[in-house]
Amino acid sequence: MGEGNLIGFTDNFADNSTEAGFQFTFYCDICREGYKTRFTESKTYKKGRFFKGLGSMVSAAAQMTGKYNIGYGIERGTDVIGEKFKGMSPAWQKEHEEAFELAQNEAKEHFHRCPKCTKWVCENDWNEQEGLCTVCAPRINVEVAAAKAEKAVSDIKEKAAKTQVFTGKIESKQTICPQCGKPAGEGKFCSNCGAPLALIKCSKCGAENPAGTRFCGECGTKLE
């Protein structure tokens, strides 16, 4: 319990507590969407109801049920709460404070605090990748990543298309020399090293073997 903890979480909340119990709604600093904490029944109220019966407490409870939003800083918010529930017993006040503390811990799980602007924001307004709120770090980054992925795919496709054209040209116009490994040109001999490029036809089986081969790759006949 204490101010330190109160300041640790958003001051953008509504106190929905009544005499009967405690509940708070915490709002996202960006979209104002609220997270309502679990309702905790007041033990003081339960006891009182048990002993005194409902009676005059009903009207008091009715006055307490109004929701209200607090746009003030936390210190002031605490004052306002104090004032609103001034008529309540000290035991109830204590419960209320404790419930508020628990409610904050509960709500915190559903919010992120932007380290840049210090806003408390809901999941929807949180840029997980950047660790910042979507105001400080618009999801452009996410879109950029998607665009990048898309471009990568189109690049691959483009490259594949280009490669096909390229290999096509090599096959039709150029041969890689088996001797030196360099483009050999279109002649019968390598334009680079002069090695013969014509395929040697096997006299026995007719298979074509690369120039310089000594035995037929198909039947093993010695090539001339």
Provide, rounded to whole angstroms, the least separation between the CB of residue 60 and Zn ion: 35
DSSP H helical ranges for 85-220:
90-108, 140-173
Provide, rounded to whole angstroms, the least separation between the CB of residue 136 and Zn ion: 3
Which residues pair with residue 41 across a beta bridge?
Answer: 21
User: Contact positions toward Zn ion, by CB under 5 A?
Assistant: 28, 30-31, 33, 114, 116-117, 122, 124-125, 133, 136, 177, 179-180, 190, 192-193, 195, 202, 204-205, 207, 216, 218-219, 221
Task: Identify which of residues 49 and 113 has a Cβ nearer to Zn ion in the complex.
Answer: 113
Provide, rounded to whole angstroms, the least separation between the CB of residue 15 and Zn ion: 20
Task: Identify which of residues 1 and 180 has a Cβ nearer to Zn ion in the complex.
Answer: 180
Task: Identify which of residues 54 and 205 has a Cβ nearer to Zn ion in the complex.
Answer: 205
Question: Tokens 């508020």 sit at which residue?
Answer: 100
Provide, rounded to whole angstroms, the least separation between the CB of residue 29 and Zn ion: 8
Token pair recorded at residue 3: 């101010």
Which residues pair with residue 183 across a beta bridge?
Answer: 176
| Residue 173 to residue 142: CA distance in whole angstroms | 46
Task: Identify which of residues 40 and 179 has a Cβ nearer to Zn ion in the complex.
Answer: 179
Q: How far is CA 161 from the centre of its chain?
A: 34
| Residue 110 to residue 127: CA distance in whole angstroms | 14
DSSP H helical ranges for the chain:
3-7, 43-52, 57-64, 74-84, 90-108, 140-173
Provide, rounded to whole angstroms, the least separation between the CB of residue 187 and Zn ion: 11
Task: Identify which of residues 6 and 135 has a Cβ nearer to Zn ion in the complex.
Answer: 135
Provide, rounded to whole angstroms, the least separation between the CB of residue 108 and Zn ion: 15
Q: Identify which of 102, 136, 106, 174 has the alpha carbon closest to the alpha carbon of residue 29.
A: 136
Task: Identify which of residues 31 and 199 has a Cβ nearer to Zn ion in the complex.
Answer: 31
